[in-house]
Structure 1
Amino acid sequence: MSRPRTSVATAIASETTKLLTTRLWWVLAVIMAGYVALCAGGIAAILGGLGSAASGPQIPEAQLPLLVYSFATSVGYVFPVLLGALAVTSEFRFQSLTPTFLAIPRRGLVLTGKLVTLLVAGAAFGAIALAASMGVGAGILAAVGVDPLLGEPEVWAFVGRSILAMALWSAIGVGLGTLVPSQVAAIVIVLAFTQFVEPLLRLGASFTDWSAQVAQYLPGSASDALVGSSIYTAMSGGTGLVWWQGGLVLAAYALVTTVIGFFTSWRRDVS
């Protein structure tokens, strides 16, 4: 009897089939696109159309387009995290790992295939989120007389970094799902941390220099540094990391959670 092929390409093909044959990816993508478009369009209308009449500090017009477009990552990043986490935890919940491990006995190879597949899916989510934020945001900015800067190299460098950030967020989701196999627990952790815990930590850390130095290594802060623009950094005065440092921090979160999860939950018997 011949041994089954167990190459990385086989694992990636298997994981891609699993992902695309469920409704999870497109349901999350549709919700994300609508949410991002609403946020980007709203801030473009407020800051672009009403900013000149508002009192208080103003955001320079040259910085406004990137701020609007950055809603793709600053509010949209939770969706690739959920995608990555659910892609893993659903395997534990429905015990589909059993036939997968029978077909591909090398568990590390299976996890590598899932990680690569979700990295690509996260990048695709980044492209969708940017299409929503830039499509709606640029249209509204142009309508209120603000140059959307779509021809500027800086904007397209921002696009590339944003897609990378969303890919890394999806990888973090895979790591979290591997580390916390319970689907309910993973969802609660993602939503609680991204929507409440980290924003409060970043706000509280901004009051002292030492805590601000620590907070720049939080995943959301690192993502904002990688992307280069965010409503959070605009309000707090920026981040201390440069873009490549932010990318390395995000990648480290994905790697550490995945490795720990591999040596704990992933190697357990599946029944």
Structure 2
Amino acid sequence: MTVATVTRSEFTKFFSTSLWWVLGLVLVVYIAFTAGALAFAFGAVSSGTLPSEAAPLPAEGLAPLLYSLAASVGYVIPLILGTLMVTSEFRHKTLTATFLATPRRRTVLWAKIVAGFVVGVGFGIVGALSSVGPAAGLLAVFGIETDLRLGSTWALIARVVLALTIWVIVGIGVGALVRNQVAAVVGVLVFTQFLEPIARTAGAFVEGLDTVTTYLPGAASDALVGASIFEIAGAGSDASGLEWWAGGAVLLAYAAVLLVLGYALNWRRDVS
């Protein structure tokens, strides 16, 4: 069977479950709420509508930070999506039938990558719209420039879509490497929500550590996008250490390494 044929099968399996729309709904609600809440808070402070003892936030450059939210805080959703695309097959033993129908396991893995790329583009567009819509609307209400007329803004939005797409591929690599679904999802959450944020925050204060944290996957993703809401808190300062193309290359390298290790160590093993 060809990659195209197996890819159609992957789409059928993917859209026959509730996984895609449940995670899609979570992504929309999470990003839209976060973007709306932050846009209201920052917009109110920047415009002087809401008095604050803190230093006023400059209105200039605020829009890109808000538009990047889908990638800077929402990337865990497509990452989990890609992980579940693989681990759910191990858990429910459907991979056995897949390998019987397509003995060339490399073809199956490539089909998952292609399907994950297409699904990732869809999730990337939805995620980007979920942040841009509420943020731009509230910034306009407070009289702050939305920057939607600038080509650089749309280039940033396109990079958000690209970053979320790559995160799905990274998740497929994680799923191929870690067969156990619970272990894979817990590992993803622990790393993305605790270990990396702590390391990046420490990198902003410990001299020399930022040269290491710059190459962490989340930091590389922020560099690819070109903006991150964490820059306000100082934890994202390391994201500016790479050009956008270099950040994308580092994130792709993570995906490639995980996929190669997953194929070599787990994908060729017996599935019972």
TM norm structure 2: 0.95
Partner of 2:149: helix, strand, or coil? coil
Q: Deviations over 1:242-269 (max 9, x none)?
A: 1000000000000100110001111111
Alignment check: 8 A CA contact 2:174 2:259 kept: yes
Matches within 5 A, 1:121-200: 121-200=119-198
Q: CA deviation at 1:57?
A: 4.0
Contact 1:233 1:239 in 2 (8 A): no
| 1:233 positional shift | 2.6
Displacement of 1:61: 1.6
Offset at residue 19 of structure 1 (A): 0.8
Cα distance in 2 for partners of 1:71, 1:14 equals 33
Deviations 1:212-245, CA, capped at 9 Å, x for gaps? 0110000010000000111113332452001000
Using the aligned pairs only, state the percent identity. Answer: 47
Task: Provide Cα deviations, 1:12-42, integer angstroms capped at 9, x if missing partner.
Answer: 1111111111100110010110010111111
TM, length-normalised to structure 1: 0.95
The counterpart of 1:28, out of the listed 11, 14, 23, is 23
What are structure 1's unaligned runs of at least 5 residues?
1-5
Aligned equivalent of 2:33: 38
Partners of 1:175 and 1:147 in 2: CA distance:
40
SS at match of 1:209: coil
* Corresponding position of 2:3: 8
Q: Which moved more, 1:155-164 or 1:230-239?
A: 230-239
Determine helix, strand or coil for the equivalent of 2:241: coil
Residue 132 of structure 1 and its aligned partner are, at CA, apart by 0.9
d(CA) in 2 for partners of 1:68 and 1:93?
A: 37
* Alignment correspondent of 2:201: 203
Q: CA deviation at 1:56?
A: 4.1
- Report the RMSD for the aligned CA atoms in angstroms: 1.2
Contact 2:117 2:166 in 1 (8 A): yes
Residues in 2 aligned to 1:261 and 1:21: alpha-carbon distance in whole angstroms: 25
Could you say what secondary structure the match of 1:239 adopts?
helix
Whole-Å separation in 2 of the counterparts to 1:228 and 1:70 = 8
* Pairing 1:1-271 to 2, within 5 Å after superposition: 6-51=1-46, 52=48, 53-236=51-234, 237=237, 238-271=239-272
Secondary structure, counterpart of 1:62 in structure 2: coil
